[in-house]
Amino acid sequence: MVLLLLLIAACGGSAPDTAPPTDETLQRETHAGRLAYELERDEEAVARFRAALARAQERDDLSAIADNGYNLAVAELRANAPDRALADARATRMELERRGAKPFPALQLAEATALYRTGAVAEADRMAQVVQHSEDAEAAARATFLRGLIADDRGDLAGLATAVDALSAEETPPFEADAAELAARLALRRGDAVLARLQAARAVELRQTTLDYRGLARALALEGAAAEHTADKAVAADLFLRAGRSAVMQGDQSDARAWLGRAIFLGTGQPVGRDASDLLRELNLDKS
């Protein structure tokens, strides 16, 4: 759900005469993982970061363990494996704590995101609140967005409004997109479907600009829900189809099924409904 920045595991120290020898295997696996991640080869990135983490553990290099444990969790989140991401983020955090090191906010945010996506909403909210009050401004802003999503899921209008207000001052596209999406959710909760459609459409445009396609699909579905509330069934069906298609291409089967199902319901007897049915059928065949 939340876009997380990839850390690059650093090998070596600050001065050539005091630095330990560079572990070329660790460096190579980390670089390969980063390259695979940048090329959106998600499973390859997961495999490479796992190999880098194993090498860091063999080396007993806490800094490299932290970096690659985090990298691995982020890659697993994008590969739609939140269970694995949760296990790896939690194991990395616990090792840092066990060895007297403080977990960094981005790692905690990865764990909070995995918790949210595995249904442990209360625990996700507690951890996101910790990140929200950290000194890492970017991680804090992303934690605010996550808490806004959680507030929306709970029907907590006050919490959702607080998150919207907190993000409204952000001026960079990723956070503008977060603010627009939460504003759309708040408007929909308040019964203003017209405003919700406008804000969701803005979020779609910004997500496309920042290449956040998971967020884009979510915003398309949100715009579809708003269109449905304005009784524009044809437009709503089209938006849900587009959201479901994007999710299919990302390998996100759970959301794809929900959104395509909505498109089928709203577009019964129409080409958009048949297109959604075809996509869902292909998804079912792939699963079997």
pLDDT tens-place values along the chain, 288 residues long? 444 444 333 333 333 445 567 889 999 999 999 999 999 999 999 999 999 999 999 999 999 999 999 999 999 999 999 999 999 999 999 999 999 999 999 999 999 999 999 999 999 999 999 999 999 999 999 999 999 999 999 999 999 999 999 998 777 778 999 999 999 999 999 999 999 999 999 999 999 999 999 999 999 999 999 999 999 999 999 999 999 999 999 989 999 999 999 999 999 999 999 999 999 999 887 665
The separation between the first and the last C-alpha atoms of the chain, rounded to the nearest angstrom, is: 26
- Residue 193 domain flag: no
Say how many C-beta atoms besides its own lie within 10 A of residue 131's C-beta. 26
- Residue 221 domain flag: no
Question: Read out DSSP for the chain?
Answer: ----PPP----S-SSTTTSPPP-HHHHHHHHHHHHHHHTT-HHHHHHHHHHHHHHHHHHT-HHHHHHHHHHHHHHHHHTT-HHHHHHHHHHHHHHHHHTT-PPPHHHHHHHHHHHHHTT-HHHHHHHHHHHHTSS-HHHHHHHHHHHHHHHHHHT-HHHHHHHHHHHTT--SHHHHHHHHHHHHHHHHHTT-HHHHHHHHHHHHHHHHHTT-HHHHHHHHHHHHHHHHHTT-HHHHHHHHHHHHHHHHHHT-HHHHHHHHHHHHHHTTTSHHHHHHHHHHHHHHHHH-
Q: Is 150 exposed, middle or buried (0-12, 13-18, 19+ CB in 10 A)?
A: buried
- Residue 142 domain flag: yes
- Residue 71 domain flag: yes
Question: Given this model, what pLDDT does residue 212 score?
Answer: 94
CA distance 80 to 78: 5
- Residue 228 domain flag: no
- 44 with 36: CB under 8 angstroms? yes
Q: Which helix (H) or strand (E) holds 38?
A: helix 24-38
- Residue 185 domain flag: no
Question: Given this model, what pLDDT does residue 9 score?
Answer: 36
Domain of 29, in residue numbers? 1-8+22-154
Question: Given this model, what pLDDT does residue 170 score?
Answer: 72
Question: Given this model, what pLDDT does residue 19 score?
Answer: 55
- Residue 229 domain flag: no
Q: Give phi and psi for 73, each to the nearest 5.
A: -60, -40
- Total number of domains constituting the chain: 1
What are the contacts of 201-207 at 24+ separation with CB within 8 A?
Answer: 203/177, 206/173, 206/174, 206/176, 206/177, 206/180, 207/177
Q: Give phi and psi for 62, each to the nearest 5.
A: -60, -40
- Residue 184 domain flag: no
Residues in the chain: 288
CA distance 60 to 89: 17
Question: Given this model, what pLDDT does residue 171 score?
Answer: 72
- Model confidence, pTM: 0.88
Give the domain CATH number at 71.
1.25.40.10
Question: Given this model, what pLDDT does residue 21 score?
Answer: 75
